[in-house]
Amino acid sequence: MLLSMTGYGRATNTVGEKTINVEVRSLNAKSTDLKMRLPGDFKEKELELRKIITDHAERGKIDLYLDVQNADGAAAVNINEGLFRGYHRELTKLGNELNLPTDDLLLAILRIPNVVSMPSGDIDDNVWDAICKTVGEALDQLKGFRRQEGMALESDLRARVAHIMNNLVEVEPFEKGRIVRMRERIHNNLEEFLGRENVDKNRFEQEILFYLEKMDINEEKVRLEQHCKYFLEQIDNKELSGGRTMAFISQEMGREINTLGAKAYDADIQKLVVQMKDDLEKIKEQLANVL
């Protein structure tokens, strides 16, 4: 079962007079990169939330937003009235002395640090349980989204691997012809430079055997076919999404395809190799988003 690293999940729950909203987004990344936006009074729970998220979301660039509001839709905040009055008195006095406008003074004071703060105190167990539940629901939605994206990725990957295997089968008809042409080319060159009567047949056969060994692509074909089958086995694995494993297999597939091209000595086989490389590059692009 393939899972995409791209996903989105959202969940909302109410406990007492508080409404809890959780949003989680993920993008592809080589490792886990988690960023969280939490209300100030829940910072102490950051490590617990981080473990919950990484255990469920596994890998990727993950952003989580947690919002806890009162029943009236407003976030719970405290205004330091003494500090506010002090700033207002002094700023108003200064503005009058300098003949400066004071229309936006209220908003300006609210932006000053410590004028507005989140309420401090122990986190209610019921609220925390509700937050964990809401985060879990959002992560479940994220996984469902990833599963749907993974199905599209799986379909494309299967098609690409099938295309590579089909091209591999099409190599076989061209194998014997290239050997015959190579043999004729070497023989004609020898006759042209040495003369027919001066050609050493034993030496000629030795050279042919040397080139036959260099042109033998049977091992590369067998290994490439096995790599393709192993790749499909990883896709069929229902227990996990093996993005990293398939990335390693694709590297091995690339090595065999490159060696196949280097030993081809045939234009028709080279065309098939180019098509295999094109499919393999598209496979690698897709694997960058597989969990």
The whole-number pLDDT of residue 177 equals 79
The whole-number pLDDT of residue 121 equals 54
The whole-number pLDDT of residue 241 equals 66
The whole-number pLDDT of residue 87 equals 86
The whole-number pLDDT of residue 198 equals 64
Listed by start position, the domains of the chain span 7-76+123-146, 78-110, 148-287
Q: Tell me the CATH number of domain 7-76+123-146, given options 3.30.230.10, 2.60.40.420, 3.20.20.70, 3.40.50.1010.
A: 3.30.230.10
**What is d(CA 172, CA 165) in angstroms, rounded to the nearest whole number?**
12
**What is d(CA 141, CA 268) in angstroms, rounded to the nearest whole number?**
49
The whole-number pLDDT of residue 35 equals 93
Contact (Cβ atoms closer than 8 angstroms) between residue 50 and residue 38: no
**What is d(CA 230, CA 216) in angstroms, rounded to the nearest whole number?**
23
The whole-number pLDDT of residue 188 equals 67
- 42-45, long-range: CB < 8 A, 24+ apart: 42/66, 42/68, 42/123, 42/131, 44/123, 45/123, 45/128, 45/131
Which residue type does 174 have?
F
The whole-number pLDDT of residue 193 equals 64
Q: What is the pLDDT along the chain (291 residues), one digit of tens a residue?
A: 788 999 999 999 998 888 999 999 999 988 889 999 988 778 888 999 999 998 888 888 999 999 988 765 555 567 888 888 888 888 888 888 888 877 788 888 888 877 776 555 567 888 899 999 999 999 999 999 999 999 999 999 999 999 999 999 999 988 877 777 777 776 666 666 656 566 567 766 676 667 777 788 889 999 999 999 999 999 988 776 688 899 999 999 999 999 999 888 888 999 999 999 999 999 999 999 998
